[in-house]
């Protein structure tokens, strides 16, 4: 049984539904999180749908939760621990149909078991849109964001401006399996490290010694020398986000 509480009035209805209920599971598809709960009484099960957006956080732990500050969306407490949701873009209660509606807008998630890159490939291989834009389209690939977009394109030497239909099947297969590996490592470690050990400074090559400034090839490195060829990293806006790339390593 969980106790649900929150500071923000607009989430009062959701809080009331969860309070006294039981959390029965969790799921994620791309950047969308789902908490399955059985409300108190005989009400049907619900999904708490959460999208953390740019600065949302789901903090959790055991023992006494921290004193709430700012805008606390939702606090769940049970004898096993607590969870605070803050600053999320989306936080709503859905039934199963609502959850399916959210998922229906999402493409394949590299992190989900048994998911291959075939569906994204049918979209990408027919599209005149740039690969850099397609990777940010959650209906093509779910879960890839601005960091993985820039880094995966660098790791495969692909020009972000190249039209999707000019990508080869071989390139896409390699990018997809690389995304699965990188994103899974990200989930495990809680950080995004995309540099290969040999491209990091000597002494910083094991996972435990990687510094943040050595973690990426191009992301947020505008003007700094490419780790592989030394050419200054470039930046441009694409799909309303800053794109970073090496004009030499990613010339095609």
Which residues bind to DNA, rule: CB under 7 A? 8, 30-31, 51, 53-55, 57, 70-71, 86-87, 89-90, 136, 138, 145-147, 192, 212, 219-220, 240-242
- Our CB check for DNA shows the closer of 26 and 242 to be 242
CB-nearer residue toward DNA: 2 or 147: 147
In whole angstroms, what is the distance from residue 49 CA to residue 27 CA? 10
Q: How far is the CB of 4 from DNA (least distance, A)?
A: 18
Cα gap 26→3, rounded to integer Å: 17
**Choice between 143 and 164, CB closer to DNA:** 143
The answer to whether the CB of 147 falls within 8 A of the CB of 216 is yes
Least distance CB 206 / DNA (angstroms): 22
Contact (CB, 8 A) for 36 and 26: yes
In the bound state with DNA, the residue whose beta carbon lies nearer, of 65 and 87, is 87
Q: Which of 135, 213, 219 is nearest to 178 (CA)?
A: 135
**Of residues 53 and 247, the one with the C-beta less far from DNA:** 53
Q: What minimum distance in Å lies between the beta carbon of 86 and DNA?
A: 5
Comparison of 41 and 70: residue with beta carbon closer to DNA: 70
User: Minimum distance between the CB of residue 175 and DNA, rounded to whole angstroms?
Assistant: 17
Q: Please provide residue 21's backbone torsions phi and psi, each rounded to the nearest 5 degrees.
A: -90, -170
Least distance from DNA to the Cβ atom of residue 170, Å? 26
Q: Which is nearer to DNA, 57 or 196 (CB)?
A: 57
Burial of 250 (0-12, 13-18, 19+ CB in 10 A): buried
Give min distance, CB of 158 to DNA, in A.
Answer: 18
CB atoms within 10 A of CB 233: 23
CB of 70 to DNA, least distance (A): 3
HSE, side-chain direction, 13 A CA sphere, residue 197: 6
Tokens 């957006």: give the residue: 53
- Can you list the pairs that 100-103 forms with residues at least 24 positions away whose Cβ atoms lie under 8 Å? 102/29, 102/32, 102/49, 103/29, 103/32
């Amino acid at each position: 049984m969980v106790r649900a509480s929150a500071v923000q009035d607009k989430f009062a209805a959701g809080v009331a539904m969860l309070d006294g209920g039981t959390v029965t599971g969790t799921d994620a598809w791309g950047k969308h999180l789902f908490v399955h709960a059985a409300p108190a009484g005989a009400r049907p099960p619900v999904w708490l749908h959460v999208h953390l957006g740019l600065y949302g956080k789901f903090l959790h732990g055991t023992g006494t939760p921290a004193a709430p500050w700012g805008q606390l969306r939702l606090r769940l407490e049970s004898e096993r621990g607590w969870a605070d949701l803050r600053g999320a873009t989306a936080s709503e209660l859905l039934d199963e149909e609502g959850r399916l509606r959210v998922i229906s807008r999402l493409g394949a998630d590299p992190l989900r078991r048994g998911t291959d890159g075939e569906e994204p490939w049918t979209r990408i291989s027919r599209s005149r849109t740039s690969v850099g834009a397609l990777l940010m389209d959650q209906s093509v690939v779910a879960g890839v964001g601005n960091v993985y977009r820039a880094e995966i394109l660098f790791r495969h030497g692909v020009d972000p401006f190249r039209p999707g239909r000019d990508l080869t099947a071989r390139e896409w297969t390699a990018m997809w399996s690389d995304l699965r590996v990188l994103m899974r490592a990200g989930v495990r470690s809680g950080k995004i490290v995309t540099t290969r050990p040999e491209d990091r400074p000597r002494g910083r090559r094991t996972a435990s010694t990687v510094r943040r400034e050595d973690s990426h090839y191009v992301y947020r490195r505008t003007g700094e020398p490419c780790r592989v060829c030394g050419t200054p990293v470039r930046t441009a806006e694409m799909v309303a986000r800053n794109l970073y790339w090496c004009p030499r390593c990613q010339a095609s």
